[in-house]
């Protein structure tokens, strides 16, 4: 049954009180940790199926099986929460981007309005100095980004045009070389024929 204890993707209410065993690690701590491989389900089924008759003979202890069952249960519960919680976090992040964009739009409009009205009412400029500075910094950053993008695009176009330019320059050279070689061959043949006639 869906709900805070068994959430579905798209839900926004979660009850994770049961996860008192959660850990918070540095990303580097995850390196080298073993992960599930293909065939895991069959392995688990085999070990559990042989527990009663064969576990002791195989050296599998009761503690091993108890720990294995606990791990299986906890992993299954985390998997049940993981997709809905990740989707919720994704929606939170994307929504924040949208809201921040709207807030910035309002701030920039206010700054622009102050600049316009400040021409007739200079005292506004001092009252909204921080707002004007903020707006100016954003405008300069945007201009710098546009310039950088334009330079990168121009470089891409120049690199793309290089093979064509090289072909235009080298084309006549190749043709001239081919023609010259052809003439040399003809001349050599003529000399050979002349020698044959003399002989």
Given CA atoms 25, 31, 32, 35 in this order, what sign does their dihedral have?
positive
- Confidence band of 194 (pLDDT split at 50, 70, 90): very low
Q: Please give the pLDDT value at position 184.
A: 46
Query: Over the stretch 31-55, which tens digit does the pLDDT of each residue have?
Result: 999 999 999 999 999 999 999 999 9
Report which of 109, 99, 98, 116 is spatially closest to residue 131, judged by C-alpha positions: 109
Query: Over the stretch 142-155, which tens digit does the pLDDT of each residue have?
Result: 777 778 888 888 78
The string of DSSP codes covering 46-113 is HHHHTHHHHTTTTT--HHHHHHHHHHHHHHHHHHHHHHHHHHHHHHHHHHHHHHHHHHHHHHHHHHHH
Q: For residues 194-199, give the mean pLDDT.
A: 46
- In angstroms, rounded to a whole number, what is the distance separating the alpha carbons of residues 194 and 182? 19
Longest dimension (CA), the chain: 111
- In angstroms, rounded to a whole number, what is the distance separating the alpha carbons of residues 54 and 47? 9
The answer on pLDDT for 13 being more than 80 is yes
Q: Which of 99-113, 116-130, 171-185 has the lowest mean pLDDT?
A: 171-185
Coil vs helix vs strand at 166? helix
The answer on pLDDT for 197 being more than 70 is no
Query: How much is the mean pLDDT over the chain?
Result: 86
Query: Over the stretch 57-113, which tens digit does the pLDDT of each residue have?
Result: 999 999 999 999 999 999 999 999 999 999 999 999 999 999 999 999 999 999 999
Q: Please give the pLDDT value at position 144.
A: 75
Q: Which of 14-18, 30-34, 77-81, 188-192 has the lowest mean pLDDT?
A: 188-192
The full 3-state SS of 123-160, as one line of letters, equals HHHHHCHHHHHHHHHHHHHHHHHHHHHHHHHHHHHHHH
Q: What is the pTM of this model?
A: 0.64
- In angstroms, rounded to a whole number, what is the distance separating the alpha carbons of residues 162 and 23? 55
- Confidence band of 199 (pLDDT split at 50, 70, 90): very low
């Amino acid at each position: 049954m869906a709900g805070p204890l068994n959430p579905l993707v798209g839900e926004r209410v979660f009850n994770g009180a049961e996860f008192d065993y959660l850990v918070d690690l540095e990303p580097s701590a995850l390196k080298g940790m073993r992960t599930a491989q293909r065939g895991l389900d069959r392995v688990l089924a085999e070990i559990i199926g042989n527990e009663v008759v064969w576990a002791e003979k195989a050296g599998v202890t009761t503690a091993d099986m108890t720990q294995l069952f606990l791990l299986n249960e906890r992993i299954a519960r985390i998997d049940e929460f993981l997709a809905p919680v990740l989707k919720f976090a994704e929606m939170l992040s994307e929504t924040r981007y949208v809201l921040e964009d709207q807030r910035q739009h309002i701030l920039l409009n206010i700054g622009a309005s102050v600049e316009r009205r400040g021409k007739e009412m200079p005292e506004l400029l001092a009252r909204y100095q921080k707002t004007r500075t903020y707006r100016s910094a954003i405008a300069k950053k945007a201009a710098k980004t546009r310039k950088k993008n334009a330079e990168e695009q121009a470089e891409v176009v120049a690199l793309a045009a290089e093979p064509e330019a090289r072909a235009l320059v080298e084309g006549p050279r190749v043709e001239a070389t081919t023609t010259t070689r052809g003439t040399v061959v003809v001349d050599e043949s003529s000399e050979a024929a002349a020698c044959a006639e003399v002989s």
